[in-house]
Amino acid sequence: MYRVQKILSLLGILSRRDCESKIMLGLVKINNELAKIGSKVSIGDKITYEDKDYLITSELLEIDTKILIYHKPINEIVSLNDPQKRPSVFDNLPDVNGKWINIGRLDYNTSGLLLFTNNGELANKMMHPSSNIVRTYEVIIKGHINKKKYELVTNGVDIGHNETGKFINIKADRNQKDKFIVKLNTGKNREVRRVFNSINCKVISLKRIGYGNIELDSLASQCFEFIETSRLSEYL
């Protein structure tokens, strides 16, 4: 038997900690009965959360962890449900036992590296703020960056909504003066764009080329590539 927290985490629905709080609020049921902290489930049981039922099957409990890199182009969304019916990154992914869960996201106008897994626990660990995973972006901007602005964006700037954004590193391209490589270890919404905007620079093009020790390299746009789980072993 398995704790209900583990199952909801494997499914990528809730982290184990979030699951405990939802159970305490009476939002999780097992076979139509309110779940309790420590409640366990087995094959054939049904978990209900947010009016959705999840049947526990042997296939679910025997998930073979898969991880892949996908090169997202601009004009694709990172969602399965879009009222506007725009193209989704999920349209280009292969079948998998379980379901693909995106590790982080990129906005509609940002391209580059996205990681996917069918292991919800892995996804939750990597997306948790305590992971401090370094994200690397290739940015083309409109505007001028001097020494003072370099210092501002690496020390931290006000990006609105009571948030501070900063780069842990910013490096100019030797051959293209409006192109930069920036690194940051937080995942605030549109953070790169907001940091540049704070110093009166507009982002023209934004592409993620690295996520931790995983790099996009020469993977073509709209293509995917499986990677070994050992490359993310510290989170498994």
Catalytic site positions: 107
Tell me the one-letter amino acid at 36.
K
Q: DSSP assignment of 15-84, as one string?
A: -HHHHHHHHHTT-EEETTEE--TT-EE-TT-EEEETTEEEE--HHHHT----EEEEEEPTT-BS-S--TT
Tell me the one-letter amino acid at 81.
N
57 and 63 Cβ atoms separated by less than 8 Å? no
From residue 78, give the alpha-carbon distance in Å to each of 50, 72, 90, 133. 21, 9, 7, 20
Q: For 106-184, where are the alpha helices, taking DSSP H only?
A: 120-127, 147-155
Tell me the one-letter amino acid at 212.
G
